[in-house]
Amino acid sequence: TGYITHDPGFVNTGAASSAITYIDGDAGILRYRGYPIEQLAEKSTFIEVSYLLIYGELPTETQLAEFTGKIQRHTLLHEDLKAFFSGFPRDAHPMPVLSSAVSALSTFYQDSLNPFDEANVELSTIRLLAKVPTLAAYAYKKSVGQPLLYPDNSLGLVENFLRMTFGFPAEPYEVDPDVAKALDLLFILHADHEQNCSTSTVRLVGSSEANLFASISAGINALFGPLHGGANSAVLDMLEGIQAEGGDVANFVTRVKNKEKGVRLMGFGHRVYKNYDPRAKIIKNTADDILSKLKGGDQLLDIAKKLEETALSDDYFIERKLYPNVDFYTGLIYRALGFPTKYFTVLFALGRLPGWIAHWREMIQDPATKIGRPRQIYTGYASRDYAPISER
């Protein structure tokens, strides 16, 4: 009290204590609930990781079956909610469409908005995990003008999402197991990352005791920005730009170093990692595998690798400890799986959803939580007198 720490960007501010995710940015370590990301990436599944993040432990077989079953029972949307998608322009960006639709869930489930009613929070949790993939698939379908599909609850979460996105009514849709596996892995790697911009947003909005749907909708909007989740689309635009100009990677890096307005090496740098992002390491290997399997290679991947190599041997990036982050190689994989560039950040949102939910629940249960309300350093006029409009 009386003394305000000025910390723009909250670089040194610990706003919460949390038992969910551990990062050591200098060593390049990431763990969910104590489990190394490398082990989860290799051995676990997205649904299991979602359970782990939200409830704190890996599920037993019975718990997993029950959790999966509950989610499957809630994948349908209220028919009236589908009308929502017709209101947006066809070329609307799918991120604001998704955040609006998630916000609208508060209007459909008014019975379950009390943040302190544990049964209701549990129901909202399941509804979100079940319905957000359906909403995301519908955002895609609307953007390409194709008919919406009902969920097929005999399928797993990722398979169901792929079918609703790329399938057609009355036509069988064979889920390619390589595609499903790659997407499941990417969702695991995105599932949580402690107090990042969108998660902090979810916690901040939730600290006013706003309901879970409203808080997650705000998180989706925070994720939209190109310095956060929007970076995955921006990386692909950047790679295509370099390709269109003849693949001159060195020239692009020079422009970045000269700090030309609007030119950043997208997918590089991180507030916490001052070492190789452990997620990027896993994703880089996956990109190699999946792109050679699905496309027989990719010229943009070659450009990305050359870009990484050039940057990592340059003093500008070494001095500033700038390494590839999670977004550097993901876009190439999403593209190979058939997603348009504009849609990449929606996939990030699907992956991050269990993390947001876990943080909101942790925040609401923590007796130390207070409404988030930063202070400021006032720099305006001290005091002045009102002048009538004729005298200004």
Binding region for ligand CMC (CB under 6 A): 9, 196, 227-229, 231, 256, 264-271, 320, 322, 325-327
| Shortest Å distance, C-beta 41 to ligand CMC | 16
**Pair 185, 287: CB distance under 8 Å:** no
CB atoms within 10 A of CB 69: 10
DSSP 160-224: HHHHHHH--TTS--PPPHHHHHHHHHHHHHHS--TT-HHHHHHHHHHTTT--HHHHHHHHHHHHH
Beta strands 21-24 and 35-36, pairing class: unpaired
Q: Which one, 84 or 268, has the nearer CB to ligand CMC? A: 268
Q: Which one, 159 or 327, has the nearer CB to ligand CMC? A: 327
Phi then psi for 21, rounded to 5 degrees? -130, 140
Q: Which of 268, 179, 199 is nearest to 227 (CA)?
A: 268
| Shortest Å distance, C-beta 162 to ligand CMC | 23
Phi then psi for 331, rounded to 5 degrees? -55, -35
Q: Which one, 109 or 268, has the nearer CB to ligand CMC? A: 268
Q: Which one, 264 or 342, has the nearer CB to ligand CMC? A: 264
Q: Which one, 21 or 124, has the nearer CB to ligand CMC? A: 21
Q: Which residue is nearest to ligand CMC (CB)?
A: 269
| Shortest Å distance, C-beta 104 to ligand CMC | 25
| Shortest Å distance, C-beta 83 to ligand CMC | 32
Strand partners, 7: none
For residue 270, indicate whether it is catalytic: yes
Q: Which residue in the list 93, 193, 270, 359 is annotated as catalytic?
A: 270
Q: Which one, 28 or 59, has the nearer CB to ligand CMC? A: 28
**Cα gap 92→309, rounded to integer Å:** 36
**Cα gap 123→131, rounded to integer Å:** 12
DSSP 293-310: HHHS--HHHHHHHHHHHH
For residue 327, indicate whether it is catalytic: yes
Q: Which residue in the list 190, 192, 327, 359 is annotated as catalytic?
A: 327
Q: Which of 174, 105, 177 is nearest to 134 (CA)?
A: 105
With a CB cutoff of 8 Å and minimum separation 6, the contacts of 279 are 30, 37, 189, 190, 325, 326
Catalytically active residues are 270, 327
